[in-house]
Amino acid sequence: MPVADGAKGIYPDAATERYETHARPTGGGAAVKVLLFDAFSGGHHYEFASGLRAELRDRAPDVEVDVLFAAPTHEEDMFFDDGEVDHLYDTSPFPEAPGFVPEKDPLPAAARLLAKQVTNPRWGVVRDLLKYVDARDYDVVHVLELDKLTAYLWAQYGDNAPSLVGSINGVFYKPVESAVPPARPLRRALKTGAGPQFVRFAPPALHRGIDWNRWFLSRCLADGVVDHLTVPTEEARDDILSNFDSVSGGRSTAGAGIADLVSVVPDPTSGWADDGPTIRSAARAALDLPESGTQLLFFGRLCEENGIRTLFDALEHYEGPEFTMVFAGRPVAVSPADVEDVARRSAVDVVSRLEFIPQEKVETYFRAADGVLLPYERSFGACRPSNVFQKACMAGRPVIASDFGVLGRRVREWDLGLLCEPESADSLADTIGQFVQRDGEVHDPESMAAFAESQTFEPLAETVLDAYRRLAGDDDRVATTGDETVRGDGDGGDRGG
């Protein structure tokens, strides 16, 4: 498996010492050199990296920004031109995740789980990232999805490595219980020297779950591995600070308390042009959807945490006014046959586009809809935002969302649509009926437009740019666009800052 210069491949070395990169000269008026890295790929990963890169280049020409992914995919060229992205490997180091239904296909699911436990690919990815960085001259490395890498960075990142900015995007907060809880004696042993060996050689399932996520992130902050952290909601920030495991010593950023190192930014989405009177009909025609009638959209992965089973049950028992249900995304926890079965047993007209939706068609699907369904289960995580939610707001389309966590709060505070009980097919069916037979708006369009305006890449770029310059010793420059400094509103979606 060929790899980029400075990396050695995915097969881990026996040694478990932290990888010490060479010290970097910083400051002196030179351009700040930043590497944006994501170990994972796919539509939202590419959108996040390409949008942030473009905004940083527009805002700060003196900042040099490179982009690195673990491996390429066929989706990458929707977001980047040739030569704009580098890769650690030619093919993904992670076990392939084919489309199958776990409870119906237990052998493929078990084989994939076993492959993860044996190969521990995330250890190798972080090790090879550090070798890649050591062959270059970066001031800051920004890990764009820190959620699944905290343990491996804590175990391997050296004191002389470039400053590290990390972004938590939400998977971190899935309420997954730990097979082996991080009890006090185990935590003490890991802090006194056994940590890297445990992370490297123990099956990843043993340190998986929200409690381990919190502990490893606390260690990354306390030990100076992560120098600045961004999170997408105020709930996420509060959770991190309330669970922070304070220890003596540790901080590499002089004079900065932990609270100062955790910033709330949007889960950003590129802004879309204002809706016009012909947009909906034109979008439907472009997608070959029915021209008339109410249409509701379920967009993205058809998986359990996104409430696909609850939605199927609601559609089968729905007795309200007619509407068209549009599914657009990859089936994960269900099969195409399952969708066809629901369509046969439901009185609702069902249109299924069970595939990866190309970037150029994403906006069109949202414009074609009258409303967007987000019947998420509590297993989605109360502190997480939803990028589908963000896109619905960008398109000016009201949502029907489960009433818990960030989703419920934002719908209420900003008057963005209707709420239903999570994991209740009856409540979802009733709420859909309420939407379909609505007389007038079920949301405040002006409030939704204001919320959408706060969810773009501008406030994210400003926050991380300030962190880059501070960490590179170049924080006397001001991040501006033209003559105006752009500011976010704290949560990127909470009124009143």
145-164: pLDDT as tens digits: 999 999 999 999 987 789 99
Residue 482 pLDDT > 60, yes or no?
Answer: no
Cβ atoms of 416 and 390 closer than 8 Å: no
Structure tokens at 340: 């066809």
Same fold, 32-268+456-471 and 279-453: yes
- What CA–CA distance (Å, rounded) separates 209 from 173? 9
pLDDT at 165: 98
Phi, psi of 457, rounded to the nearest 5 degrees: -75, -15
Using one digit for the tens of pLDDT, what is the confidence trace for 97-113? 544 445 555 566 555 55
Interval 2-6 mean pLDDT: 45
As a whole-number percent, the residues of the chain with pLDDT over 70 amount to 80
Residue 469 has pLDDT above 50, yes or no: yes
CATH class of the structural domain 279-453: alpha beta
Q: Let me know if domain 32-268+456-471 sits in CATH 3.20.20.70.
A: no
**Average pLDDT for 247-266:** 66
pLDDT tens, residue by residue, 286-308 = 999 999 999 999 999 999 999 99
Q: Where are the domains of the chain?
A: 32-268+456-471, 279-453
Q: How many CA atoms lie within 13 A of 400 on its CB side?
A: 28
How many whole angstroms separate alpha carbon 130 and alpha carbon 159? 12
> pTM of the predicted model, to two decimals?
0.84
Q: Which tokens go with 381?
A: 């995580």
Residue 269 to residue 457: CA distance in whole angstroms: 7
